[in-house]
Structures are given as C-alpha cells and as structure tokens.
Structure 1
Amino acid sequence: MYKKKGFISKFLNKVFSETPENKKELLYFINKSIKNKLITQNTYNTIEKVINLENKQVKDIMIPRTKMITLNIHDTLNKCLQIIVKSSYSRFPIISYDKNHIIGFLIAKNLFKIVYENNKNFSLKEIITKPAIVPDSQNLNRTLEEFYINKNYISIVIDEFGIITGLITIKDILKNLFKKNKKKKKIF
C-alpha cells in the first residue's frame, strides 16, 4: 500500500533534489511549504528568523547598562532578597563599585538555598559565578551557541574598547526569535 510522505520527508527530498544555493533560495523552498499547507506562516516566520540570526548582533537586542538591575558585592542578604523579589529576575550582575566593575553573577536560587538553610554567615563572594563576556558586535547565532555549549545563559556585553555596554540573556535571544511579526512578509 502507498504510504503518504510526511512533511520532513517531502521537505528533505525537495531540499536535496533541488539544493538551494543561498538563503534566499532556501527561504523560497520553505515558502513553497506554506503554499502546500505543510507549515503555517508563523512557522515560516520563525524559521526565517533562525536562518537570519547571524545577521543580528548582540547590541541589537541587549539590555543596556543603564537598565541593568545589579547587586553590590557588599549588599546585605535582606537587600539582595528585596531586589530579587521586586525585579523577579533569576540572574543578577554583581558589581564591586559601579556598573563598570562587574565581578560575577548571582543565580537567585543559590541565594534562596542560603535563606532556606538559615545560614548566618552570608557572603555573596561565595555564591557568585564568573561572568561570561561577549562583544557587542558578535552575531546572535554565535552567542546562542556559546550559551548552550557553556551552559551559561547570561553574559556581560562589552564594546570594542572593553567598556561594559549591557548584558544579554538566552531569554532575550529566544524572545527575539518568537516575537510576532507586525505584518506578514512574503519573499516571492
């Protein structure tokens, strides 16, 4: 009995029988999948964003330094908890003097463990992690890859002079991939 081919089989057969020479051709083949009702327009939009991820730089979507919520290495446990609860973030840059001197990151759950254990000898120095650093000109594709390889989901962003310009998280990249387009865009 003849078995109907699934989307993946059809897509791979098409790609390998008529190999696209560039991104535009690849997107054309994927766009044909919409016309054949194999994928939705939203799926196409997401695939297009993934393909074009290398065209965007960290500076395009990073959180600027002026909007970073930080903790000071000398903050009390109470002050840290207040900032964490108010912001509802899970990772925080730790500064020593100002936002130009980031010495590490605090993962909130590590602080909660100290609270749960009722540890009287609180010190941020003991629970912070080493900061990862990325240049603001690095493409998002590479940044996402580094996040997965290093299992580090937040990085300090620096400019070409080594000045801290902001931070970027894996959530920022994923949010950029899955945000809705304002208007439908067709290639051909």
Structure 2
Amino acid sequence: MSDPYPAADSTTPSVNPNRPRHSLLDRLVSLVRREPEDREDIMVVLDAARERELIDADAYSMLKGALAMSEQTAMDVMVPRARMDMLDASESIETLLPQIIETAHSRFPVFEGSKENIIGIVMTKDLLGHMINPDLTLRELVRPAVFIPETKRLNILLQEFRRNRNHIAVVIDEHGGITGMVTLEDVLEQIVGEIEDEYDIEGEKTIFADGNHAWRVMATTEIEVFNETIKTSLPEGEYDTVGGWLAHELGRIPKRGDTVKFEDLQVEVLRADARRALWLRVRRRHLANAFNTKTQGR
C-alpha cells in the first residue's frame, strides 16, 4: 500500500518563502494538493483556467454566475410589486384579453379584491378554453400560487423550481405582504445572462419611448447614441455604454431597483443579472413632475 502522505520530492513544486503567502501561484500549488475549501479557491481555479484559455468566455461567465447564485436572494432579482402585471379575478376573461395580449406573459398572478390578496396563478394557455366555453371565468382557471420569502437563496429556489416543475413564485416580506414576484427566467438569467425572445427587442433599436417623458433603454446602448436620443450629455470615460456609466457611478455591479440621478434625468435599473445591468428606465424628472402637477390640478 502506498504512503498516503508522501514526502515532497524534486518533482513537487516548492513555495518560495520570500513570496507573499497568498500569491496566485501559492494558491494554485495548494489547490493541486487538495480540494478547494471555499468559493475563493474555486474562483482562483476558474480565473486560471480562463487565463490559460481552457474555458471560453461564455463558460467562464456562466460558472461565475452559478457560483454567485448562492449569495443572491429572491429580493435581488424579483420584479417589484409596483411593476407586476396581475389579473383581477372579478373581471371577465374577455375584458382582460387586451392586457394579456399586450404584456405577452405566459403566466399571471391573479388577485381578488386587493392586489395584496393573490389567490393563485393563471397560465395563458388555459385561457384558450374561453374560446370553447365563453362562460368560463378566470377564477375557475386559477392554479395554486407558490409564496417564498425575500431571503430565499436563488440556488435553493432553482432546485425547487426544477423539483416542483414550477416557473413562478410570489415574494413576500416578513409580515406576509406582497413585495414582488420571481420567475424561472429571472433565476436562469443570473447564470446565462439575459434570455431574449421576440418580445424583448425590436431589431437593433435600443431606446424605446415609455410614456410621460420616459424611455426604456438597453444598458448596452452606447453613450453617444443615448446622448443624441435623450438630448443630454452623459459623460464618457472608461466605459462606452450607459450600463458602464451606471456601474461607474454606483461603484459596483448594478442591481434591480438601483437609481442614479444625472442633471434632470433619473435612471432606474429595471433588469439586471449577476454581472451587469440589462434594462433601464430613464425619465426626465422636472418635466414628469410638471405634467403630474398639471394633471392633478384638473
């Protein structure tokens, strides 16, 4: 039987005592002698593998995203309650069809009486039954909703989504109040980046008008294009895109709900993954406020 603890020989890499204890080489040498003990060890291996081109950029990004999931919670990626598209159980399916078609979701939370009272989830495909039976009500199509705390870790949530074949969960705070919702797509985007479909972008356009002196902007929009379209002067620096500027201003990776003000603009992060901002909402504050004041005075 071989010695499980062989003495070092001439083929074993030696560590220079003059080198800093936690240098990259020291860590790599220690890793080949044992299994990684923590996330930092794993990241050293990933960084080294990427540097040696053993894995490509996409694989590297996905692995980093997967590792980051255990530190992220439902609150980090959820759609806030104010932006949730919900259906009122008291409305007829025929009345709700325009909203369903416009938003193009595959699933909707359904509330009764108050938006705090979510009674379940309805799948868009189930609404096809209305064509056969016009008397069918939304209440009859509701499926049970899954409720999760804001603190639910994304890696655990992903396991639950897979195990229960569920694609959506309603997020609640410590008092049981509705704070948002999270979908399987929201979780997977933390690993693979934004999942785009035919409803996400229109050709190569990256800035879309969004109501009262507001725009929906892809974070990859170039600063020059943004300034020309919005008629502003966002500064250029060590970044080329609006998302890069936002990360620079925040001093970290943007998260959903982050807000930054620049001159008369307010920039809010609508969607983000573990690595970057994806979609932003930009509005001109003084014009929007003036419009709201005028409207309230009518």
Is the Cα contact below 8 Å between 2:84 and 2:180 reproduced in 1? yes
The 1-side partners of 2:93 and 2:73 are apart by 36
Instruction: Specify the alignment match of 1:53 in structure 2.
Output: 69
Instruction: Specify the alignment match of 2:56 in structure 1.
Output: 40
Q: Find the residue that maps to 2:114 and give its secondary structure.
A: coil
Go from structure 1 to structure 2 and tell me whether the alpha carbon gap of 1:16 and 1:80 turns closer, same or farther (over 3 Å shift): farther
What one-letter code is carried by the residue in structure 1 that aligns with 2:95? K
The 2-side partners of 1:35 and 1:59 are apart by 33
Shift of 1:52: 1.6
RMSD: 2.0
- Where in structure 2 are the equivalents of 1:1-188 lying within 5 Å? 18-115=34-131, 118-179=132-193
The 1-side partners of 2:33 and 2:133 are apart by 64
The 2-side partners of 1:131 and 1:142 are apart by 18
Shift of 1:45: 1.7
Structure 1's consecutive aligned runs of 4 or more residues displaced over 6 angstroms after TM superposition are none
- Of residues 137-146 and 31-40 in structure 1, the stretch that sits farther from structure 2 once superposed is 31-40
What one-letter code is carried by the residue in structure 2 that aligns with 1:147? F
Q: Residue by residue, what CA displacement relative to the aligned partner does 1:113-164 show, whole Å, maximum 9, x if unpaired?
A: 332xx21221112211101000001111111111111111101100011111
The 1-side partners of 2:189 and 2:53 are apart by 26
The 2-side partners of 1:120 and 1:20 are apart by 61
Q: How many residues align?
A: 167
Q: Residue by residue, what CA displacement relative to the aligned partner does 1:15-62 show, whole Å, maximum 9, x if unpaired?
A: 886411111111211222212222112321210110120101111110
Q: Find the residue that maps to 2:65 and give its secondary structure.
A: helix
The 2-side partners of 1:120 and 1:129 are apart by 19
* Greater RCO structure (CA 8 Å; 6+ sep): 1
Larger Rg: 2
- Of residues 49-58 and 33-42 in structure 1, the stretch that sits farther from structure 2 once superposed is 33-42
Q: Find the residue that maps to 2:166 and give its secondary structure.
A: coil
Q: TM-score, normalised by structure 2?
A: 0.53
Q: Residue by residue, what CA displacement relative to the aligned partner does 1:81-110 show, whole Å, maximum 9, x if unpaired?
A: 211101011100100012100000010001
Percentage identity across paired residues of the two chains: 28
Go from structure 1 to structure 2 and tell me whether the alpha carbon gap of 1:17 and 1:113 turns closer, same or farther (over 3 Å shift): farther
The 2-side partners of 1:87 and 1:24 are apart by 41
Instruction: Specify the alignment match of 1:186 in structure 2.
Output: none
Shift of 1:72: 0.8
Unaligned 5+ residue runs, structure 1?
Answer: 1-14, 184-188
